[in-house]
Amino acid sequence: MNRLRLAKLLIFPAALIPLASLGWKALHDGLGANPIEVITHSTGDWTLILILTTLSITPLRRITRQYWLIGLRRMIGLFAFFYGTLHFLTYIWLDKFFDLHEVWKDVGKRPFITVGFSAFVLLMPLAITSTQGWIRRLGGKNWQRLHRLIYATGVLAVIHYLWLVKADKRKPLEYGFVLSLLLLYRVVMPALETHRKLAVPTATPASSRATSA
């Protein structure tokens, strides 16, 4: 079995552990006095963790030269969408009892809900177009351009977390720090590559002059 298949076989059940843990706690009275809050926080946390994990695949594969890692990005991204959907469902179902008028009012009135909702909406086209068929239909370049939305999702998700926390902002700031590193890598790496490409043609004539002299 190749490395990618093995990694997928391990990651798939691992990504379901947070959901299984919530299910187990729900069945054994382990969700405490405010189960809705526990479910909302756990699904929200895992959505954000999985978005950041998806974003870290490209730097990780380049730094470690393990290029097969790219094959994991789609699965992890889809799990981020899965937990995001559970998070949103917890809110509209358990918190708002499907009162869509109330939900819509909240989206317009509470800034942290507005940005959380925007982050979730941006995840939708990414999940829908994650198939080979959509890559073909959109063309590689357009598909890549569209999938850069994941960075905007990450930024909105961190703002959502920062704005909803009232006192201790350490956790959202830690996520923000990780996201900043990933964004910085995204900006710095192409700049370095362009610099390297520009440096090569100027170096060649100099070296050929040296050898011909």
What residues make contact with ligand HEM under the rule CB under 6 A?
Answer: 37, 40-41, 44-45, 47-48, 51, 84, 87-88, 91, 113, 116-117, 119-120, 123, 153, 157, 160-161, 164
Q: How far apart are CA 62 and CA 189, in angstroms?
A: 10
Distance of CA 2 to the CA centre of its chain: 25
Q: Which residue is nearest to ligand HEM (CB)?
A: 44
Q: 90, 118, 93: which is closest to 22 by C-alpha?
A: 90
For 130, 132, 139, the CA distances from 136, given in Å and listed in that order, are 11, 6, 5
3 state SS of 79: helix
Please, which residue, 69 or 175, has the CB nearer to ligand HEM?
A: 175
Residue 115 CB, shortest distance to ligand HEM, in Å, is 8
Please, which residue, 56 or 153, has the CB nearer to ligand HEM?
A: 153
Please, which residue, 72 or 160, has the CB nearer to ligand HEM?
A: 160
Residue 186 per-residue DSSP state:
H
Please, which residue, 167 or 198, has the CB nearer to ligand HEM?
A: 167
Residue 61 CB, shortest distance to ligand HEM, in Å, is 23
Contact 119, 156 (CB under 8 A): yes
Residue 198 CB, shortest distance to ligand HEM, in Å, is 38
